[in-house]
Every structure is written in structure tokens, then in C-alpha cells.
Amino acid sequence: MVKGFINTALESKMLSAEKFSDILQQKAEQTKIVSFINPFSYPLIAKSLNLIEEIDYWFVDGMALCHLSNLRRKNNLLRASFDLSSIARDCFDYASKKEVNVALVGASESEIKLACSNLKKLFPNLKIVYSHHGFIKNKFESVYEDIEESNANYLIVGMGTPMQEEFAIGCRKVCPSLSLILTCGGFLTQTAMKPDYYHPLIKKFGLRWLQRAYLHSYVRKRLIKDYPSFIIRYLFNR
């Protein structure tokens, strides 16, 4: 149900960060899909009832949306992003410990190779059984087949919203070996730049947005144009 700008169906499925460990440890009969939402992606996702319903778990990526959504809640949400300052580290630690086969799809051809190399430096026991760049708009089916042949258990996909969610939903239908699919936005591109992308002081003071804005022009555009508009519309429709 959409009430003004706010999608109540989406809001009801948004989880707090502490719930992620339960998802990692649960034994599900069907592949589960985890995705993340922020002020830029919220309007895109809110328009698609199919995406909201098909994604099993939504986490809030960024403090701005956490604060806004918490205005409407009794139990506050805590930020959960797929980066090494948040739940990505938990995911890779768990996968390494349990010897989970991991597939990675996203970024450019050169970036995905660097991302895999850098992840192996951070997590030497991580079993990356398949990787592919994310420029596959018309090649989803062939990549699905390769993922299934790799016997991957986890798939981490970063193509941007809503393509990464659409890819994840389609992959679940043809890759029964997968137990968990997670979207990751720009994580693979960031990891290609540096094994642990965020500077320690940036993480300590919660200024991840500032580092990303400094390094990426598209982030500056979102902060200047998209985020203020979202905040106003969200508050107006509260």
C-alpha cells in the first residue's frame, strides 16, 4: 500500500542491523534474498510491488533513512550496509568459517578481478567459486547457468537498483543451489579500489557519505539533488 510518498508495504519489511546474523544462520528451504534501501533507491523500489514482495529482507543503508523511518516506529532501526564497516564483514567471516561457496557479480571486468583479489587478502579462506562483471543487461540467463554450475551457495550482486534486485529474483528461480542472495550496490567497485575501502577515521565518526562524495561525482549529485528532495517528500508525507 502506498500512502502518498511513503510505501507502507516496504516500510513493514525494513529490518534493523542486528537481525542479519539470524538470516546468516537460519536454514531455509528456499533461497532468501537480502537487499538494501537508501534515500536514492527508496522512490525506485516503492514503485514496484513485485520487487517489494519478492525480496525477503530489506535493510536500511544509511543513517538518514534510519532517522526518518524511526520517526514512525516504536522500535528503532539500526543501519545495515553491505560494506566492511557493517554486515559485509559478518557475511564473509561466516562464509569463510563455514566454507560456503561464494559467487560475485558486479562492477566492470577489471574491477571484479581486483575485488576478488582484495577480498582474498582480507579473507584468505573465502571460497570464491565464480565471478563476473555486472554489464550483463541482456545476458542474465547465461550468467544464471554459470552460477548454478559453480555450485555457489551465496551470491553477492552489485548492479545498482533496480537491476540488481531483478537479477537476484530471476536467479533464485533457476539456481536452486543458492541459499542466500545479497545485493551490494557499489561494494565491488569500492573493494577494487582498496581492500577496506573506508578510512578508519571515516568509519569511526560515521562519515562514509563524505568519503564517497569526495571520490565519486554521482554520489555528490545524489547528496545535492536527490537526498534533500527525498527528505522533504518523506517528512511531508509522514
What 3-state DSSP class applies to 7? strand
In the prediction, which pLDDT does 48 show?
92
In the prediction, which pLDDT does 1 show?
41
pLDDT at 4 over 80: no
**pLDDT tens per residue, range 154-196:** 999 999 999 999 999 999 999 999 999 999 999 999 999 998 8
In the prediction, which pLDDT does 152 show?
97
Tell me the average pLDDT across 28-45: 92
> With b meaning 16 or more CB within 10 Å and e meaning fewer, what string describes 159-193?
bbbbbbbbbbbebbeebeebbbbbbbbbbbbbbbe
134/105 Cα distance (integer angstroms): 6
pLDDT at 200 over 50: yes
pTM: 0.91
In the prediction, which pLDDT does 2 show?
41
Percent of the chain with pLDDT over 70: 97
Tell me the average pLDDT across 19-34: 91
pLDDT at 238 over 80: no
Q: Enumerate the active-site residues.
A: 111
The domain limits of the chain are 2-236
> With b meaning 16 or more CB within 10 Å and e meaning fewer, what string describes 46-63?
bebeebbebbbbbbbbbe
Mean pLDDT computed over every residue of the chain: 92
pLDDT at 17 over 80: yes
**pLDDT tens per residue, range 203-230:** 888 888 788 888 888 889 888 888 888 8
Report for 3-12, 26-35, 94-103, 209-218: range of highest mean pLDDT: 94-103
User: Which CATH number does the domain 2-236 belong to among 3.40.50.10700, 2.40.50.100, 3.30.460.10, 3.30.360.10?
Assistant: 3.40.50.10700
In the prediction, which pLDDT does 45 show?
94
Residue 14 carries which DSSP code? E
46/11 Cα distance (integer angstroms): 9
Tell me the average pLDDT across 49-78: 92
In the prediction, which pLDDT does 215 show?
85
